[in-house]
Chains A and B, each alone.
Chain A
Amino acid sequence: MAESSLHQAAKTAGAKSYLQIVDVVKKFGDNTVVDHINLSIAKNDIFALLGSSGCGKSTLLRMLAGMETPTSGKIILDGEDITALAPYERPINMMFQSYALFPHMTVAQNIAFGLKQDRLSRSDIAERVERMLELVQMKKYAHRKPYQLSGGQQQRVALARSLAKRPKLLLLDEPLGALDKKLRQQTQLELVNMIEQVGVTCIMVTHDQEEAMTMAGRIGIMSEGQLLQVATPGEIYEHPNCRFTAEFIGETNLFGGHVVEDEPDHVCIHSTELPRPVRVGHGITGTMGMPVWLSLRPERVGVSRRQPVASGNWAAGTVGDIAYLGGFSIFHVRLDSGKVVKASVPATHWREEAAPTWNEPVFVSWTDNDAVVLTQ
């Protein structure tokens, strides 16, 4: 896994970056909302900025669209510095969080709005509008006004409107945020399909990790105006580079500790919450004794009644809560140190014997490759 992530990183660095955000800062008064962000994005990538509400995602997006001016830094698109361009001069279109459809225009007029600005001929405009309506499957509704459409339909019109001008960069601000949960899941892949069909570089902003993981090829985790990690969904989940990311994406067990053995191919971490040092099968850039965090995903933790034979990477405890979720169950195992470890165990694991019940003594264990050391 570590190897492939390195490989991936090398590949993305090698690809010619289409959009470059260079050391961009945005301050509102004394409040630094976007804090020295560097990011490059390859052509036709779908990139997601993921972060909790108020972390500055929309502000970064609005700077790309030209609606905010960076306090400092540069934005380069397709080799051209666009930092100082007005929104109407940028080859970038945005789909707004609330769609911002023009209420006095029909669906077709909304889609044609930007095209009229491009001085295209009447027939060219009609043809493009037609094609966009086909793409988003809204042909039947071409003459409706926005208020006569459902939320999902409005969202598709907004997408069509922002794609109609064939922008070099498409920006989506919480593209599915206004839809209810069921519709949102349905729409995620539909949206990706449409974007890939036209082949446009896309940056989306969301606070919903499932949305980001499903839709984006690469994800940037943002917190308090800073970009903490940029990687594929898989890498972010398996190899988070900091505590925030590990906790933000999915569930994890975190143990505080410090390095007691530091070798190129492995490290040992001592944590007061675990009975014996944990051996992790990857090297870290750190020093002996430095404080670190261990992240251990619940599905990486095994639960058994028999004491593991290995010399380390296990602990004894008793079963607290059990959350039965059909295909798997989550065991909350209370260790002797008092720390509760969550373990997600598939139902098929309990073929030979019955699953442990409440208050039963059990052992939790994992291998060298299961825990991840976080130095930040």
Chain B
Amino acid sequence: MMSRLLSLRDSREATARTARRSAWWQRALPRGQSLVTAIPYGWLLLFFLVPFLFVLQISFSDVEIASPPYRALLSRAEDVVSLVLNFGNYRYIFGDPLYFDAYLSSLYMAGVTTLICLVVGYPIAYTIARAPEAKRNTLLMLVMLPFWTSFLVRVYAWMGILDNEGLLNQALLSLGLIGEPLQLMHTQLSVQIVMVYAYLPFMILPLFSNLVKLDGRLLEASADLGCRPWQTFLRVTLPLSKNGVIAGSMLVFIPAVGEFVIPELVGTPESLMIGKVLWMEFFDNNNWPMAASVTIVMVALLIAPIVYLHKREEKALARAAQR
């Protein structure tokens, strides 16, 4: 191993030397590989970082009756450029329990959605991944089938199912299981059901692409060493699919936190979620700076755990390499 590390370093030094030897203009131009990696970075820069900076800027501004309805941060009066930052929005967000509650209920809702999606999606992804190759594509198509119809139409369909006169209540009534219709629509439950439904494919797909790579011989080795199937699952399959679980959970959790449409259409009017708050600040109150501040806090809430997880992973890798 030692020698392998050494040889690795040698080869790296060798490439460094050739790089040093090449002409200045060759060095100035990005090489093929860095060009390729530059594309996704450029994409993120253009469509994430730039809009984010706009929003960040607006969040430190004040409302103004103008178009757009906020004051520019930089102003010029008599050759003096002045920068005025307004932290009032943030103070307001942290001061008013309404926002805190909205964040909390959104995080809670997204968390529960993620958990249910994981519990429901994992067996589905596992079954598809273990299915014979010929069947796999058909099953994957079925998972993605809902995307062929508009999201709104699908939510309306759920309204038709969960309504007091909806399919579910009628079925339960005609079976005699209930005496009068259950109040399903406009409850936390209905929001939860529709959110799980809407986000499930985003859990299944990354899990599938992870599980399909799982080497069947590892499962056989585990059985050979004395593990029953469920023990093999806990000791081999689950740890090895960690990255799929993380990817799927993020793909569900992050958009679910800001979800606006589902609570609006099937939720209760009194439970306020952060997506709804955003909407109200933006469109009802026409308060762009406040809406921007709400967004920035939400992004910060989402990014913090991701950065933490990433750092921990890096440290673990570094520790492994040191040994």
Given A103-B240, A104-B239, A145-B320, do A87 and B224 touch, yes or no (CB 8 Å)? yes
Chain B residues near A67 (CB-CB < 8 A): 220, 223-224
A98 to B220, CA, bound (A): 12
Q: What distance in Å separates the Cβ of A164 from its nearest Cβ neighbour in chain B?
A: 9
A88 to B225, CA, bound (A): 6
Interface code B231-275, partner A: CB below 8 Å = 1, 0 otherwise? 100011001101000000000000000000000000000000000
The reply on A223 being an interface residue by CB < 8 A is no
Could you show 9 A-B contacts with beta carbons less than 8 Å apart?
A: A65-B224, A88-B223, A88-B224, A93-B224, A93-B225, A100-B217, A114-B226, A141-B1, A162-B224
Count B interface residues, CB 8 Å.
22
Contact call A87/B223, Cβ cutoff below 8 A = yes
Count A interface residues, CB 8 Å.
30
Closest 3 CB pairs of A and B: A114-B225, A117-B226, A100-B221
Chain A residues near B218 (CB-CB < 8 A): 100, 102-103
A161 to B226, CA, bound (A): 12
Interface code B206-233, partner A: CB below 8 Å = 1, 0 otherwise? 0000000001011011111111100100
Chain B residues near A65 (CB-CB < 8 A): 224
Contact call A86/B223, Cβ cutoff below 8 A = yes
Contact call A113/B1, Cβ cutoff below 8 A = no
Contact call B231/A96, Cβ cutoff below 8 A = no
Chain B minimum-CB-distance residue to A158? B221
A161 to B215, CA, bound (A): 18
Chain A residues near B20 (CB-CB < 8 A): none
Interface code B279-323, partner A: CB below 8 Å = 1, 0 otherwise? 000000000000000000000000000000000000000001001
Chain A residues near B4 (CB-CB < 8 A): 148, 150
Chain A residues near B227 (CB-CB < 8 A): 88, 117
> How many residue pairs, one in A and one in B, have C-beta atoms under 8 Å apart?
66
New A-B pairs, 8, CB < 8 Å, besides A101-B221, A148-B320: A67-B220, A86-B223, A100-B218, A145-B320, A148-B1, A149-B1, A150-B1, A161-B225
A88 to B220, CA, bound (A): 10
The reply on A266 being an interface residue by CB < 8 A is no
Contact call A88/B323, Cβ cutoff below 8 A = no
A67 to B225, CA, bound (A): 12
Interface code B175-218, partner A: CB below 8 Å = 1, 0 otherwise? 00000000000000000000000000000000000000001011
Q: What distance in Å separates the Cβ of A155 from its nearest Cβ neighbour in chain B?
A: 14
Q: Give residues 207-263 of A contacting B (CB, 8 Å).
A: none
Contact call A102/B320, Cβ cutoff below 8 A = no
Contact call B323/A144, Cβ cutoff below 8 A = yes
Q: What distance in Å separates the Cβ of B228 from its nearest Cβ neighbour in chain A?
A: 6
The reply on A48 being an interface residue by CB < 8 A is no
Chain B residues near A101 (CB-CB < 8 A): 221
Q: What distance in Å separates the Cβ of A126 from its nearest Cβ neighbour in chain B?
A: 17
Interface code A104-115, partner B: CB below 8 Å = 1, 0 otherwise? 100000000110
Q: What distance in Å separates the Cβ of A106 from its nearest Cβ neighbour in chain B?
A: 9
A75 to B239, CA, bound (A): 35
Partner of A113, one of B215, B228, B235, B320: B235
Contact call B220/A96, Cβ cutoff below 8 A = yes
Q: Which A residues fall within an 8 A CB radius of B? A: 65-67, 86-88, 92-94, 96, 98, 100-104, 113-114, 117-118, 141, 143-145, 148-150, 161-162, 165
Contact call B239/A88, Cβ cutoff below 8 A = no
Chain A residues near B225 (CB-CB < 8 A): 88, 93, 113-114, 117, 161, 165
Chain B minimum-CB-distance residue to A147? B320
Q: What distance in Å separates the Cβ of A32 from its nearest Cβ neighbour in chain B?
A: 23
A103 to B224, CA, bound (A): 17
A144 to B5, CA, bound (A): 13
Chain B residues near A145 (CB-CB < 8 A): 320
Given A117-B231, A141-B1, A145-B320, do A88 and B226 touch, yes or no (CB 8 Å)? yes
A66 to B220, CA, bound (A): 10
Chain A minimum-CB-distance residue to B221? A100
Contact call B226/A144, Cβ cutoff below 8 A = no
Contact call B323/A143, Cβ cutoff below 8 A = yes
Give the interface centre of A66, A148, A150, A162 by most chain B CB atoms within 10 Å.
A148
Chain A minimum-CB-distance residue to B218? A100
Q: What distance in Å separates the Cβ of A96 from its nearest Cβ neighbour in chain B?
A: 6
Q: What distance in Å separates the Cβ of A334 from its nearest Cβ neighbour in chain B?
A: 51
A344 to B163, CA, bound (A): 92
Chain A minimum-CB-distance residue to B228? A88
A244 to B217, CA, bound (A): 33
Q: What distance in Å separates the Cβ of B244 from its nearest Cβ neighbour in chain A?
A: 13
Given A141-B1, A161-B225, do A87 and B323 touch, yes or no (CB 8 Å)? no
Chain B residues near A103 (CB-CB < 8 A): 218, 240
Chain B minimum-CB-distance residue to A148? B1
Q: What distance in Å separates the Cβ of A105 from its nearest Cβ neighbour in chain B?
A: 8
Partner of B220, one of A87, A104, A144: A87
Chain B residues near A104 (CB-CB < 8 A): 239-240, 242
Contact call B236/A102, Cβ cutoff below 8 A = yes
Given A141-B1, A144-B1, A148-B1, do A102 and B221 touch, yes or no (CB 8 Å)? yes
Chain B residues near A86 (CB-CB < 8 A): 223
Contact call A96/B217, Cβ cutoff below 8 A = yes
A87 to B226, CA, bound (A): 7
